[in-house]
Structure 1
Amino acid sequence: MYFVYLLQSEKDHQYYIGQTQDLSIRLEQHNAGTVRSTRHRTPFRLVGHETHPTRAEARWREYTLKRSAHQRKKFIEKLTHIPG
C-alpha cells in the first residue's frame, strides 16, 4: 500500500504533498531536514493521507495534485475539513 500525504510546516504553515510507502519514516525524514525540497521549512505535521494500491497510482495522484491548483485545493480542503 502506498500513501499520498499532506504535511503542513509549523514554521510557515505552508503545505507539502508527497507520496511514500511508509508514512512514519517519511515524516521523520522531512523533520530531520534530509528532504531537500522541505528542509528549510521544518518541522512538519502530518495533516492527512490517501491510500493507493500501487506506487504508480500514488505517483500519478501526487503528480496531478502538484500540477493542478484546483485538484490541490480540493485535496487540502478534504484533508483539513473538520466536521461540525
Structure 2
Amino acid sequence: MILDSGASMSVIKEQSLTFKTIKINDDESDYKFVSLKVNNVANDNIKAVILDSLPAEFQSDGLIGFDFLSKNIVKIDFKNKRLWIQTVVEK
C-alpha cells in the first residue's frame, strides 16, 4: 500500500481482493467499498474504494489516503524498515 496524504480517500485494486472479500454497496455512491483493518491501531477500519482498473504501472495493491492519515500519526523508520502508527488522541 502507498501512503498518500494528498488523496482524500483510500483505494484498493479489485485484483488484490480475495473472492471471499465482502464488498460494501453504498446507494449514495457509484463506487463499491471494502472495509480494511489495520492491526493494533484504535482507528483500524479504513473504508476503501474498490477500483477495477488502474494503469499497469501502478504495482501496489492500493493507497491509504487522508481519511486514515488524519486519524493516525504515521512515522517511517527507513533505517530499520519499520512503519509506526499511533492513534491521534482528541482533546
TM-score relative to the length of structure 1: 0.28
Give the structure with the higher percent strand.
2
More helix by share: 1
Larger radius of gyration: 2
